[in-house]
Amino acid sequence: MNKDNKNYNILVIEDNIGDYYLLEEYLNENIEKPNIKHLERFSELKQISDNTKDFDVIFLDTSLPDKSGEELVTEVLQITKNIPVIVLTGYSDQSFATKTIQLGASDFILKDQLSSENIHKSILTNIERFKKKALVKI
């Protein structure tokens, strides 16, 4: 399989270093040179909030040391308004998945279902969806 050669700027907000390395490995399997920025806390996102527009997509773990759950998703979405946010969680609670989408998250992936293929597909689908949304607003 040929790797995607687009330059994606990807923000990963994940406190579990093992989960981060796994996600990074999957991203590198299908994307030639992903530009990945890693944060471990919500407070780190607040510090770079003026620069979030530089990202094409954001992967967000829903349980960080300084914030979690619906509150975390809501506040991240407020900071990163026009960027697809793909929620990652280890919890298989379907009602929580539905709630994150209702709050404005672009997609929801269970950590135990992560694969290079579904991550790449989610990136492509959600970036395209956001581009179409932006065109509709014009």
31-72 tens-digit pLDDT: 999 999 999 999 999 999 888 899 999 999 999 999 999 999
Query: pLDDT tens-digit profile of 106-133?
Result: 999 999 899 999 999 999 999 999 888 7
SS3 call for 11: strand
**Distance of alpha carbon 61 from the chain centroid:** 8
Pick the more confident residue, 82 or 138: 82
Q: Are 58 and 83 in contact (CB under 8 A)?
A: yes
pTM: 0.93
What are the tokens at 40? Answer: 């471990």
Handedness of CA 72, 77, 132, 20 (dihedral sign): negative
Residue 107's beta-bridge partner residues? Answer: 86
DSSP string, 46-91: HHTGGGGGG-SEEEEESEETTEEHHHHHHHHHHHTTTS-EEEEES-
Query: How is the chain split into domains, by residue range?
Result: 9-137
Chosen CATH of 9-137 out of 3.90.226.10, 3.40.50.2300, 3.90.79.10, 3.40.640.10: 3.40.50.2300
Beta-carbon count within 10 A of 10 CB: 21
What are the tokens at 89? Answer: 């969680």
